[in-house]
Structure 1
Amino acid sequence: MQEFNIDTINRDASDKYKGFRYQKFRVAIKMLQLIKKNNRNNIIALPEFRDDGHFVDENGNEYLEQDKLYEKGFSFNSSEIQKSMINFLDNFIELKKDPYINFIFFTNTTFKGENQTKKLTELGLTVLQKPVIQYLVDKDFEKDVIDFVSKYLINIYKETYDIQEDKPDTYHVNYITIKKMESEEWINFLSKVSFRFGEGDLDKLSEELEREISECQFFSAEHLGKENLIKRNLLDVIDERMTQKHVTQKIIGVDSVRYIYKEVESSNSELVIDEVHLHWENIENELENDSIRNLKEKILCVCPEINEKTLKKYTRESVTVKDEIKRFDRRQINSLRYRVYESMGIFFEEEFNYSEILTIDMLNETIKLLKEFVLKDIDQLKKDYSYGIKNDIAVKKMTMLLIDECFYSFDEV
């Protein structure tokens, strides 16, 4: 059975999760700020469309934004700056240098000067008097700045996409276009890029979001004391739109935000979310490269004599519960998954004796005891937290789902 690094699972929150949350906070803040300026916009944001944030202001100007939460400062040599600039360049070219498109690099940290690296020397470039980013922030597009930036980004673009002259593709076409850009075209591109450093960490953005929520024109006396629920619902909508594939499904307009305020207005109280949902992704990542055996394979491995009818019943439980949990808040379901996973771990470690073969009766009894053991734990947790699901049947079926998803098995493999 797979062993997990408890220190990894239980750390406060992964850098990946923090960065993702930082991005969502920024999208929510920007949406509310745009509504202040014009509450009639059909589209104000498209999360994870072309960039971390994609916003449309009251004049139809579009802003593609990269949001970066980091501890150390960036230089123009930093990989995150490189990736962001390459992404901006791709969009600049693919959108045919649209005059209404702008780019933003938004971060909590600072910037610093470049070191004279081997790469710079090979490209025949020498570090400038000031950090390259300083020139870009000041929109100081001197000839030596443009020469430095253009040569550097052309090289990075080629390396990023492993451009090969004999294998043309979309990026190869973009690369040729970028190589042919004159100084004025580079100035046009760079003038569209804004760098916003020192914009506050996750806590600061959270405070700013709370302030924007209470200052929104949709906020009324009925919302007092429910600010956190508005915040959660805003972030949930952003989270849901991020996962959509088609651009029309990603759109968030003023009406989406207005509906959130209206819905919260009539609610009685806030949901109490079990914060262990923060750690579920870490557990999933632990199994990312493991070979997968499904529930049916695991049962047949220890109980080859099981009849088809019983096998289908357990398999059906693992399938149907997936549909049952879809309508609930993702945080609630991930918290429930974590708690069920945790309880199952205790059962298999303390209550279950592994053997090579189980009779049908032994297997059925084991599954029955497992479900009752998990349900007892979840019933206690429900006194403090809301997991969305209220019926015991779905909780029991989730044990079959976690076995099917390869978190546990009836043997010690």
Structure 2
Amino acid sequence: MNHNLKWSSYEGISGAPLIVDDKIIGIINSELVENKESKELCALSLRYLEKTLQEKCGICFTSEIEIKEIDIVAKTAYEELTHNDKRNLPEKLKDACQTISLNRVSLYCREQAFGKVEINRYNDQQISSIKFRVFEVCQLELLNFVETSVIEELTTEQIESLIRKFSKKGKKAIEERSTQYDYPVNNKGFMRKIVLDLINDCFLSFDKKGLYDG
């Protein structure tokens, strides 16, 4: 493969994906160097590697590449949400549990901040759509919690339990829609980052102030 000579050397990129039209079609494995300058890149086709990938990694290929669409309805709905609850993550934690330690609040804030960095690596459209779907199911989870709870102040254990429930519900919701729509990732760790970001961005909480009418 000829290339545009942006780099004088591509040393160290062996094993990197070869992407054409936003699709991975091969793996770069070497380069042709003349007079200490890269002239040509070589790659192995995924079709050539298909048998090995199936046997060693459990990756299966189909004859057609499935292209999933962005969940535009959810993206648009998220962008149209109004910030009814103006409190951020620390404020919501302290309102839910007045005895919560500053160390624990700081821990959640660091977790949210680091999670935000990872979230920002992905396409805004994908993140907006995944956030709305998580918001939807977690609103119902919060409503059920508020209606069945008989205490006004939560313990730190109850706060953590609610965050985990939000994450679990969100992960399940995205799993159900991922057969049709394109979402970046969907694992427990990433979903927890989405939930904490939603709490900090005024869309979820631990009390009835975080319930949205519409």
Give 1:263's aligned residue: 20
> Is 1:364 aligned to residue 151 of structure 2?
no
- After superposition, residues 94-243 of structure 1 pair within 5 angstroms as none
Normalising to structure 1: TM-score of the pair? Answer: 0.33
Match for 2:78 among 257, 264, 280? 280
CA deviations on 1:296-349 (whole Å, 9 max, x unpaired) are: 111111211222332222222222222112222221111111111111111112
* In 2, Cα distance between equivalents of 1:327 and 1:265: 16
Moved more, 381-390 or 335-344: 381-390
Compute the displacement of 1:367 (Å).
Answer: 2.0
How far does residue 273 in structure 1 lie from its aligned partner after superposition? 1.7
Rg larger in structure: 1
Higher helix share: 1
Partners in 2 of 1:332 and 1:378 — Cα distance?
11
- 1:344 matched to 2:132: no
Q: Is the 8 A contact 1:341 1:402 kept in 2?
A: yes
Closer, same or farther in 2 for the Cα pair 1:405/1:267, shift >3 Å?
A: same
Q: SS at 1:293's partner residue?
A: coil
Q: Secondary structure at the match of 2:20?
A: helix
State the Cα deviation string for residues 38-75 of structure 1 (Å, max 9, x = none): xxxxxxxxxxxxxxxxxxxxxxxxxxxxxxxxxxxxxx
For 1:311 and 1:267, the matched residues in 2 are separated by 42
In structure 2, what is the equivalent of residue 398 of structure 1? 194
1:101-156 Cα offsets, whole Å, 9 max, x none, are: xxxxxxxxxxxxxxxxxxxxxxxxxxxxxxxxxxxxxxxxxxxxxxxxxxxxxxxx
TM-score of the aligned structures, taking structure 2 as reference length: 0.61
Partner in structure 1 of residue 108 of structure 2:
314
Q: How many residue pairs end up in the alignment?
A: 148
Matched, 1:380 2:176: yes
Unaligned ranges ≥5, structure 2: 1-18, 26-64, 210-214
Question: CA–CA distance in 1 between the matches of 2:153 and 2:189?
Answer: 28
How far residue 362 of structure 1 moved from its aligned partner, in angstroms, is: 2.1
**CA deviation vs aligned residue, 1:61-92 (integer Å, no higher than 9, x gap):** xxxxxxxxxxxxxxxxxxxxxxxxxxxxxxxx
Q: In structure 2, what residue type is equivalent to 1:292? A: K
Is contact 1:302–1:358 with CA below 8 Å preserved after alignment?
A: yes
Distance 1:364 1:272 in 2: 34
Distance (whole Å) between structure 1 residues aligned to residue 152 and residue 112 of structure 2:
24
The amino acid of 2:126's aligned partner reads: Q
Quick check: 1:317–1:401 contact (8 Å CA) kept in 2?
A: no
**1:273·1:332 contact (CA, 8 Å) conserved in 2?**
yes
How far apart are the structure 1 equivalents of 2:187 and 2:144?
A: 26
The alpha carbon displacement at 1:394 in A equals: 1.2
- 1:379–1:408 CA distance, 2 compared to 1 (3 A): same
Superposed displacement of residue 384, structure 1: 2.6
The structure that is strand-richer by fraction is 2
Runs of 4+ with >4 A deviation: 265-268
Identity of aligned residues (%): 27
The answer for unaligned runs of 5 or more in structure 1 is 1-261
| TM-fit CA distance, 1:266 | 4.9
Output one character per residue of 1:269-317: Cα deviation in whole Å (capped at 9) or x when no partner. Answer: 434322221222111xx22xx5621111111112112223322222222
Comparing both chains, which one has the higher relative contact order based on Cα–Cα distances under 8 Å and sequence gaps of 6 or more?
2
Does the CA-based 8 Å contact 1:328-1:389 persist in structure 2? no
